[in-house]
Amino acid sequence: REGNQQLLNACMAHMSQPFHNLHNTPNGGLLASFLGARTETQRLDFWYPDITHHVAANMTSIQAAFDQNRMHYEILIHDVQEEVEKQSDVKEDIPGRHSYAKYNNWDKTVAWTEKMVHKHPKMVSRIKIGTTVEDNPLYVLKVKDERRKAIFMDCGIHAREWISPAFCQWFVYQATKTYGKNKIMTKLLDRMNFYVLPVFNVDGYIWSWRQDRMWRKNRSKNQRSKCIGTDLNRNFNVSWNCEAVYQTISYSIYLDPCREIYGGPAPESEKETKAVTDFIRSHRKSIKAYLTFHSYSQMLLFPYGYTSELPPNHEELVCRKRLMNPLHTCGPTASTIYPTSGSSLDWAYNLGIKHTFAFELRDKGKFGFLLPESQIKSTCKETMLAVEVIVKYILKHTS
């Protein structure tokens, strides 16, 4: 997703046939219009822009359309299913046990939350903030317990972005491991609490492990549709499903329950969204920053997504660019990637949390959502450094 770079993942109709990942680099708006018109007839999964998620019936016709319109492309992944199978490239130390070097399913993650509380009772507590539509618990880990200002962090709002929950687990691990030993972490935790939601979209995450690795939405049923799920990051009460936001793609796409970015029947209609918003509202006085972690593209995004207007503290947010690797891209969501409505980032900012950032973790497209486990540690380490810089800035500039 570099500059106007676009990614299209077009999958064949059956698992026995190859999945393909195409990379294309024309003008962003032109590509969106060109392919958007074909979402009604071709079943496509856009990895970027996030438009829809379906299985393609005819890969050849898509490639022919690119050729006919003289659009350059290259196949990054010849067989996506093969990459799914290769993603687990780190050997387990002890089979079945949670590992920070591997992706962990929901059962392992729940057991990990219990272990962290048991191992660090004076530092970590577990709060059940609600349940999902399939009655799975939503757990927030509170790191440190004094009454002081706090940061809320969430991971895994989109099920297929496995590197995201891996980072939240890494963060809690490093916080507890290095407290009292590392000067920076000790100072941060002595002055700031952290609320960490390791997996926002629990039902979808479970489904991505058991049934469909590329699943994105939650697992709620939709009235008058056989299609399952709502995009939780389009379900927040901020410019929700605003038609003016979407210019390059048919607005009907965003109202279709069968589409990947369906925002639900109403803002905060989903149990997961409501649980998180209720929790943040109830802790609004103490929460000074909101950080949400996604993949992929190696970006740091800030408000707004639903308008090209800049937030009042835009210059302050831009200053945080210094914390990113030069290879990373930073900027407002709408102009840096694409317009969005109903996002958690914009909702938190409009609630009054002025330090809100969305991290898009590794990589830039070679593996996409299928980042190999061998890159988990390096991804978490570089993200940890960025989070530390943000937290230090917040400590210095908030009361």
**Per residue in 256-299, pLDDT tens?**
999 999 999 999 999 999 999 999 999 999 999 999 999 999 99
Domain boundary among 86, 116, 143: 86
Give me the pLDDT at residue 325, please.
63
Do 364 and 335 belong together in one domain? yes
What's the rounded mean pLDDT across residues 77-100? 76
Look up residue 342 and give its DSSP letter.
S
Do 390 and 272 belong together in one domain? yes
Do 68 and 143 belong together in one domain? no
Give me the pLDDT at residue 323, please.
58
What's the rounded mean pLDDT across residues 350-377? 93
List, in sequence order, every beta strand (DSSP E) within the chain: 6-11, 19-24, 45-48, 73-77, 124-131, 137-143, 150-155, 193-197, 287-295, 299-302, 329-332, 355-361
Domain membership flag for residue 95: no
Coil/strand/helix, residue 206: helix
Q: How far apart are CA 364 and CA 7, in angstroms?
A: 10
Number of domains in the chain: 2
Do 181 and 53 belong together in one domain? no
More confident residue, 365 or 182: 182
Domain boundary among 86, 120, 155: 86
Q: How far apart are CA 279 and CA 317, in angstroms?
A: 25
Do 388 and 323 belong together in one domain? yes
Q: Is residue 268 left, alpha or beta, with left meaning phi > 0 and alpha meaning psi from -120 to 50?
A: left
**The residue type at 254:** Y
pLDDT over threshold 90, residue 185? yes
Do 196 and 326 belong together in one domain? yes
Do 115 and 81 belong together in one domain? no
Domain membership flag for residue 272: yes
**Lowest mean pLDDT: which of 22-26, 298-302, 338-342?**
22-26
pTM of full prediction above 0.75: yes
Residues 6+ apart with CB under 8 A from 327: 298
Domain membership flag for residue 249: no
Domain boundary among 27, 52, 86: 86
Give me the pLDDT at residue 14, please.
32
Look up residue 18 and give its DSSP letter.
P
More confident residue, 14 or 313: 313
**Lowest mean pLDDT: which of 12-21, 39-48, 233-242, 293-302?**
12-21
Asked if 296 contacts 326 with a C-beta cutoff of 8 angstroms, the reply is no
Give one DSSP letter per residue of 259-301, joined into a string: STT---SSTT-SHHHHHHHHHHHHTTTTEEEEEEEEESS-EEE
Q: What per-residue string of b and e applies to 71-86 under the rule 16 or more CB within 10 Å gives b? A: bebeebbebbbebeee
Domain membership flag for residue 33: yes
Give me the pLDDT at residue 371, please.
95
List, in sequence order, every beta strand (DSSP E) within 29-123: 45-48, 73-77
Asked if 199 contacts 154 with a C-beta cutoff of 8 angstroms, the reply is no
Domain membership flag for residue 241: no
Do 61 and 184 belong together in one domain? no
Q: How far apart are CA 328 and CA 299, in angstroms?
A: 5
Asked if 269 contacts 232 with a C-beta cutoff of 8 angstroms, the reply is no
Other residues' Cβ atoms within 10 Å of the Cβ of residue 127: 12
Burial classification of residue 111, based on how many CB atoms lie within 10 Å of its CB (0-12 exposed, 13-18 middle, 19 or more buried): middle
Domain membership flag for residue 259: no
Give me the pLDDT at residue 83, please.
75
Domain membership flag for residue 255: no
Do 134 and 74 belong together in one domain? no
Q: What angle do CA 28, 217, 80 make, to 5 degrees?
A: 65
Do 64 and 134 belong together in one domain? no
pLDDT over threshold 80, residue 168? yes
What's the rounded mean pLDDT across residues 309-321? 76
Give me the pLDDT at residue 129, please.
99
The CATH code of the domain that includes 52 is 3.30.70.340
Look up residue 358 and give its DSSP letter.
E
Range of the domain at 338: 107-208+267-397
Q: How far apart are CA 66 and CA 142, in angstroms?
A: 50
**Lowest mean pLDDT: which of 269-273, 308-312, 339-343?**
308-312
Indicate the pLDDT class of residue 55, thresholds 50, 70 and 90: very low
Tokens read off for 392: 């230090």
- Pseudo-torsion of CA 216, 217, 218, 219, nearest 10°? -100
Do 67 and 147 belong together in one domain? no
- Closest alpha carbon to 261 in 36, 42, 25: 36
Do 347 and 386 belong together in one domain? yes
Half-sphere exposure of 317 (CA within 13 A, CB side): 24
Domain membership flag for residue 234: no
Q: Which residues are catalytic?
A: 360
pLDDT over threshold 80, residue 184? yes
The CATH code of the domain that includes 299 is 3.40.630.10
Mean pLDDT, the chain, as a whole number? 83
Indicate the pLDDT class of residue 22, thresholds 50, 70 and 90: low
Is-cis flag, bond preceding 173, omega within 30? no
